[in-house]
Structure 1
Amino acid sequence: MTTTANVDPAELAKFSDLAHRWWDKESEFRPLHEINPLRLAWIDSIAPLAGKQVLDVGCGGGILADAMARKGAQVLGIDLATKSLKVAQLHALEAQTPQVSYREISAEALAQEQPAGFDTVTCMEMLEHVPNPDSIVRACAELVRPGGWVFFSTINRNAKAFAFAILGAEYVLRLLPRGTHEYARLIRPSELAQSCRGAGLEIAHTRGLEHNPLTGRYWLSQNTSVNYLVAAQRLPSNV
């Protein structure tokens, strides 16, 4: 295992304890399964996945990594949660997904090992779980080739996001385990944009992810007040 200072042991433990439930679509990870087709289609519409070298940072149990491989990409998923990676590897074997592999390594360490090694990098639902999200953004920028795409998804930091993403999702609707998110670690779009610019990434597309708790439907929109996704391109000069 490659060590890194940019990790919260409590966050690793939180997801490790739930690792065996990653592929249970009725478990705590149900929302990830339900939004996966939306984020997969959005990524593929901007940076077609077929035939590309793709990295999924903070891959967890491999829900997105597996789906991108099935779109024809050669995918590497990385994480620092050992149990989650073992679940991802087992699922790849059981589902016979040959174009996906997994490694227990940090984004920062992989950036030193394979700079500009990928056509596309995804980092979804992870930035709000690490002590230094700027470091992850920089590593993603270093990992993607000039002209390549980096995709992030995270949660805005405001009163509405607190009400919907924490109180509503974790305590009222119980879509997620209590304590999944900490308000202080949520990231405003302006803050993520600043991190991207500092890393040599130019944001080209932003979408909000909305949810109707009555119907259970998720959809993408222009409303980034709670959950949102960002597509950023590495500038050619950032070599």
Structure 2
Amino acid sequence: MNATANVDPNEIAKFSELAHRWWDPTSEFRPLHEINPLRLDWIIAQCGGLAGKRVVDVGCGGGILTEAMAHAGAEVTGIDLSEKALTVAKLHALESGAPVHYEMIAAEAFAEMHPDTFDVVTCMEMLEHVPDPASTIRACAKLAKPGGTVCFATLNRTAKSYLFAIIGAEYLLQLLPKGTHDWQKFLKPAEITAWAETAGLTPKAIIGMGYNPLTKRYFLTDDVAVNYLIALAKW
């Protein structure tokens, strides 16, 4: 791995340890499976459909969203720096028949090789795990074609997110392993928007995601104080 890559080795190791459980819907990755349909539908709405479009999923992990976008008709490439996660993703794609191309490479390096290439760029739950999120945002902007759509999903740095995403999700409800997130690395929408605009992206839409512990269901909401998705356009 390139020593100058925008990556935290501890974060890669943390998710690599769990890689074999990525496609188990009852595992630590259960929340990703349950929110995937919500995310997919929202991304489709923001980009006017995925059929026939070139898409790159930055920080794809085991490929849950990556495969879903391929099944929706997109030509999808998934990139990540976890060799174990990518191995799982490739094996699952062989089993499911999803036409996905996977590559182990940093977003910044991939952007240098493929500037202005993709109709849609997705980067889900990655910005809060890298040392320099602004660098990742610049790379995603560079990968998008003019007129393309870039979608991020991350967590807001608020008192409510500490209560719900750390105390609630990791310790009380045990939806995620303890230590999955570092609240200080959460990102406010204004921070992402500022970095994105500097990189040539214009905000299009933002929406929050909530969880009902009684029904055990996730839902989209206007409240962006905890989890949120933001779509931006490259002009």
Shorter-normalised TM-score: what interval?
over 0.9
Classify the secondary structure of the residue corresponding to 1:120.
Answer: strand
Cα distance in structure 2, aligned partners of 1:83 and 1:36:
21
Q: State how 1:49-64 maps to structure 2 within 5 Å.
A: 49-64=50-65
Alpha carbons 2:119, 2:148 under 8 Å: kept:
yes
Q: State how 1:67-146 maps to structure 2 within 5 Å.
A: 67-97=68-98, 99-146=99-146
Query: What is the CA deviation profile of residues 193-213 of structure 1, one whole-angstrom value per residue up to 9, with x for unaligned ones?
Result: 111111110011000001101
Cα distance in structure 2, aligned partners of 1:198 and 1:154:
19
Alpha carbons 1:153, 1:230 under 8 Å: kept:
yes
- State the percentage of identical aligned residues: 59
Runs (5+) with no aligned partner, structure 1: none
Query: What is the CA deviation profile of residues 166-206 of structure 1, one whole-angstrom value per residue up to 9, with x for unaligned ones?
Result: 11000111000000000110001111111111111001100
Cα distance in structure 1, aligned partners of 2:26 and 2:20:
13
Cα distance in structure 1, aligned partners of 2:211 and 2:41:
17
The corresponding residue for 2:7 is: 7
Alpha carbons 2:79, 2:107 under 8 Å: kept:
yes
- Give the TM-score of the pair, scaled to structure 2: 0.98
Q: State how 1:165-180 maps to structure 2 within 5 Å.
A: 165-180=165-180
The corresponding residue for 1:31 is: 31
Classify the secondary structure of the residue corresponding to 2:153.
Answer: strand
1:5 shift after superposition? 2.8
Alpha carbons 1:141, 1:199 under 8 Å: kept:
yes
| Structure 1: 4+ residue segments shifted above 6 A | none
1:2 shift after superposition? 5.5
CA RMSD of aligned residues (A): 0.9
Quickly say closer, same or farther: Cα 1:95–1:3, change in 2 above 3 A. farther
Count of equivalent residues: 234
Classify the secondary structure of the residue corresponding to 1:149.
Answer: strand
Cα distance in structure 2, aligned partners of 1:4 and 1:178:
28
The corresponding residue for 1:42 is: 42
- Give the TM-score of the pair, scaled to structure 1: 0.96
Classify the secondary structure of the residue corresponding to 2:205.
Answer: strand
Runs (5+) with no aligned partner, structure 2: none
Cα distance in structure 1, aligned partners of 2:7 and 2:137:
14
Cα distance in structure 2, aligned partners of 1:177 and 1:153:
19
1:115 shift after superposition? 0.4
